[in-house]
Structure 1
Amino acid sequence: MVIAAIVSLILGVVCGQWLFSPDLVSLFGPISEYTLYILMFAVGISVGANKQVFRRLRQYHVKILIIPAGIVVGTVLAGFLCYLIVDMPLRDCLAVVCGLGWYSLSGVLLTNLAGATLGTMAFFSNLLREILSFLTIPFIAKHLNHYTAIAPAAATSEDTTLPLLMRCTSEDVAVMAVVNGVVCSALVPVILNLLYRV
């Protein structure tokens, strides 16, 4: 999936730079917005179809939000650290990192909210987060604890990194990872819209 995303991006750059006319490129703006709605609809379906998520919510109540809350706080702190290091406005630094690993949505959404440059940065930043998750989850699960291994995955803990989390942790942690992924995925559009619409 990660390779497909990178190849698609490279093909898009090539088409935009050398093959497509400016008139054709301008047609992709509305298409990306409708694609965003379809992505959000798909997330809603996956949440509604997963009965374990609602069972765990009833079982753990507010305590189940500790992991996603920690992930969001850690991510915001990382965005603030980036602000201190790079020459970018704080809002832009926070927006880039607050995709929580969901590169397809954060890239499209930030392109619509703040322009193609920031959208591209968000895409690459969150794609890198997903790649690093695959590299760090086994180490974290082995040397720290199983629940901590959910943190690098953030929103991807319900889909692309879930098989790795299942292999490296336990069934109970995998269910928590799904709940975490659902919560983080729901927060991404909320956070990004708050940053640019307030």
Structure 2
Amino acid sequence: MNSLITLVSILIPLFLGFFISVPKPYLHLIDKALSLLVYLILLLIGVSLSQVENLHTRIDTIIGSTALLFVCVIGMNLLVLIWFDRRYPWQAHGSGKKVHIGIAGSLKQLGCVVAGFLAGYVLTGYWLPPENTGNYCLMLLVFLVGVQLRSSGITLRQVLLNRRGVQTAIWITASSLAGGILFALLMPEVSWSKGLALASGFGWYSLSGIVMTEAYGPVWGSITLLNDLLREFFALVFIPILMRRYPSTAVGIGGATSLDFTLPVIQSAGGLQAVPLAISFGFIINVAAPFLMVIFSSLNF
């Protein structure tokens, strides 16, 4: 029942937001609100992590598990999508401009988690945010994501009729889940369903961190968060390198961020014709991520 409530509390705000359109001049306000919410959610995840007993004894587990999960998921993504690009070639033409790789935003996001951890450690015994604060912030976040998608002029017709985008979304989903199963096989204490849930964030770190914390506790929530942040780092660096020969791979490794944070890099590296692919792929992944995470985390096999 709790999993069903979590799924409804995420998907309903997302789809409600998708039916609300705001004038384009006000989109920058939505963007600012989303940025603030992301930082707030990351702070709250840091606070929850600070409340884990004997955390210092689990640091090795967090670092090791994050590294292994990242290698399994990204490794499977690359293997499958590079095969797809070779088997069914599709050419994207870059803009010819030098691509600026901006990892400063990712570093700020990681810094928010650290700041939240320090704040939680200092404030313990005095005041801590109410337990459900993170869930309320998450609901508002996905609602604004829906509003942003609708107000940006994205239609379901555009999404579903972009064959390459749909195919890329299917392959990235399948390969990520395969990576999750591989992770479970290499970690005897991790069930298959848990491995699948951990691999279903697709780079949406603000969502996966909260959902996995609710499902498996702050340690695994932090592992998922760091894994999805690493995807963002990886995508920013390798999208320009992969775009010329493997355009679907370049778009796919960004996961959910291909619709926002890494979209400017995709456009610069792949040109305007890569944008519809990124939008179609990103939209599908943004809808699939919360659904798959909640479903798999509610199962036990």
TM surpasses 0.5: yes
Uncovered stretches (5+) of structure 2, i.e. residues with no partner: 1-104
Deviation sequence 1:62-116 (CA, Å, 0-9, x none):
6642111111001011111111222322222222221000111100111122211
Correspondence list, 1:1-198, <5 A: 1-17=105-121, 19-22=122-125, 24-25=127-128, 27-57=129-159, 59-60=161-162, 64-87=165-188, 88-142=190-244, 144-198=245-299
Return the offset for 1:39. 1.2
Amino acid at match of 1:8: C
User: CA, structure 1 residues 63+160, in 2 after alignment: closer, same or farther (shift >3 Å)?
Assistant: closer
Q: Is the 8 A contact 1:98 1:188 kept in 2?
A: yes
Uncovered stretches (5+) of structure 1, i.e. residues with no partner: none
Provide the rounded CA distance (Å) in 2 between the counterparts of 1:71 and 1:30. Answer: 32
Counting helix residues as a fraction of each chain, which structure ranks higher? 1
Provide the rounded CA distance (Å) in 1 between the counterparts of 2:286 and 2:223. Answer: 19
Query: How many pairs align?
Result: 194
Runs of at least 4 residues of structure 1 off by over 3 A?
A: 52-55, 57-60
Structure of greater Rg:
2
Identity %: 23
Q: Is the 8 A contact 1:52 1:175 kept in 2?
A: no
Provide the rounded CA distance (Å) in 1 between the counterparts of 2:284 and 2:127. Answer: 37
Return the offset for 1:175. 1.8
User: CA, structure 1 residues 49+22, in 2 after alignment: closer, same or farther (shift >3 Å)?
Assistant: same
Return the offset for 1:55. 4.8
Deviation sequence 1:169-188 (CA, Å, 0-9, x none):
02121122022111111111
> Which one scores higher on RCO, CA 8 angstroms, separation ≥ 6?
2
User: CA, structure 1 residues 166+81, in 2 after alignment: closer, same or farther (shift >3 Å)?
Assistant: same
What SS does the aligned partner of 2:201 have? coil
User: CA, structure 1 residues 106+48, in 2 after alignment: closer, same or farther (shift >3 Å)?
Assistant: same
